[in-house]
Amino acid sequence: MRTNLTNTNKTSILYPQLSYKLQGLFFKIANQYGLGLKEKLYHETLKDYLNELQVAYEHEKQIPIFSWRDGRKISVYIPDFIIADKIILEIKSEPFLTRIFYNQIYSYLRVTKYELSYIVNFGEEKINTRRLIFTNDRKPHLNFKPK
């Protein structure tokens, strides 16, 4: 079953309350601090707001990537944030985001249990937020049991 991205409504949004809360924080940070600053500033500010709102997160958590063939650990992915053990969040401060950034995030969704990711760029003229979805029903490797 493929995820229908063109016909989304409130009932089909993954983690709606958490998603709306995060989007509000992205814009709050952009309005408060402006755009084009160092990425680390946005990381630290977001951590402060997440703590204030008591939203669970892990910063730069190592996520093991396992082989689809034999289940052995083949790599590690270190996203900027994992929010509430549900959402991958990547923060950027670049003049523009190329397809490479989006492909990287999409690949991380494909090989992990996470279904939703945000990539937020504070480096453009306007804040750029993008939601990427790859549902677990499209990930046969998640049910893989090594012999």
**For 74, phi and psi rounded to 5 degrees?**
-115, -15
Q: How many domains does the chain have?
A: 1
Residues 133-142: pLDDT tens digits?
Answer: 999 888 876 6
Q: Higher pLDDT residue, 74 or 69?
A: 74
Q: Which domain holds residue 95?
A: 16-143
Query: Where residue 126 falls among pLDDT bands split at 50, 70, 90?
Result: very high
The mean pLDDT value of the chain amounts to 88
Q: Is residue 4 part of a domain?
A: no
Q: Is residue 51 part of a domain?
A: yes
Q: What percent of the chain has pLDDT over 90?
A: 67
pTM listed for this prediction: 0.84
Q: Is residue 8 part of a domain?
A: no
Q: Is residue 78 part of a domain?
A: yes
Residues 24-73: pLDDT tens digits?
Answer: 999 999 999 999 999 999 999 999 999 999 999 999 999 988 777 787 88
Q: Is residue 1 part of a domain?
A: no
* CATH code at position 127: 3.40.1350
Q: Is residue 73 part of a domain?
A: yes
Under 8 Å CB-to-CB from 23, ≥6 apart: which residues? 129
Q: Is residue 64 part of a domain?
A: yes
Strands 116-121 and 87-92: parallel
Query: Where residue 143 falls among pLDDT bands split at 50, 70, 90?
Result: low
Q: Is residue 5 part of a domain?
A: no
